[in-house]
Amino acid sequence: MDVKELLEHHTAHYNEKWFILQDPISIPHQFERKEDIEIAGFLTATLSWGQRVTILKKANLLMEWMDHSPYDFITSAKESDHQRFNEFVYRTFNGIDCHYFISALREIYLHHSGLEELFTEGFKKESSIFSALVHFRSIFMSFSPMPRTGKHVANVLKGSSAKRLNMFLRWMVRNDGVVDFGLWNTIPASALMIPLDVHVGRVARDLGLLKRKQNDWKAVEELTHSLRLYSPDDPVKYDYALFGLGVYGDKY
């Protein structure tokens, strides 16, 4: 089995409904309204580093504290309702960060037409995910930012791989009819960049798809370029295969 056949085989294996239950994407799958899915997805992606069991537990807690209606909470909750987030802690993301993220999302939905519009504005500047991520961060961190909160929003201008934001964009843009939502048609799937983490990077290097040793933005560009040779219209679909092979330990 050559590399493309291997990737296609494992992509089909993991791109199934059973995968949702074990993955952070299960959190936004609890909702039907577009805005709820976006906000739940963005917050869950933000927390997506570490053990998945804990990620799911903490993301579900955020949804519970938002009364399982994230858009209504973001746009309508009173200041007193926000106090419940004082006690939130997940690794280095804590109550201070929750307050800023909630306030920033409120501004984005009330005054910037929402997350899709914000990312799309940036994408149109250079027709690239890089420009989308730069623009998003510049706006998101412009609402009386606190220095510590900034480290939770990837800065590709400093070489970050932006794994969690690229994963969020995969969720929103790809339309596979199973796992990813395909809510946004303003950014093409062909432009998406691979969500690069240690698992994806290790498998990609083993398969000869990535030579760069650091898991940074240059590595994201190199790996995505390699994957586009196999699937120009949807290179990030192989995220399933690379991540699954790395996490579940299947032979390749």
Residue 252 confidence (pLDDT) = 62
Element of type H or E holding 12: helix 3-14
Q: Which two tokens stand for residue 211?
A: 């030579």
Collapsing DSSP to helix, strand or coil, 197 comes out as: coil
Which residues have a Cβ under 8 Å from the Cβ of 6 and sit 6 or more positions away? 207, 241, 252
Per domain, the residue ranges of the chain are 3-248
Is 240 within 8 Å of 184 (Cβ atoms)? Answer: no
Question: Can you tell me the mean pLDDT for 94-100?
Answer: 93
Q: How many CA atoms lie within 13 A of 225 on its CB side?
A: 10
pTM exceeds 0.75, yes or no: yes
Taking the mean position of all CA atoms in its chain, how far away is CA 118?
15
Name the one residue in this structure whose structure tokens are 């994230």: 70
Give tens-digit pLDDT for 230-244.
Answer: 999 999 999 999 998
Residues 6+ apart with CB under 8 A from 112: 118, 139
Confidence bin at 250 (pLDDT 50/70/90): low
Read off the pLDDT of residues 20-61 as tens digits, 9 standing for 90 and up: 998 999 999 999 999 999 999 999 999 999 889 999 999 999
Residues 138, 106, 60, CA angle at the centre, nearest 5°? Answer: 105
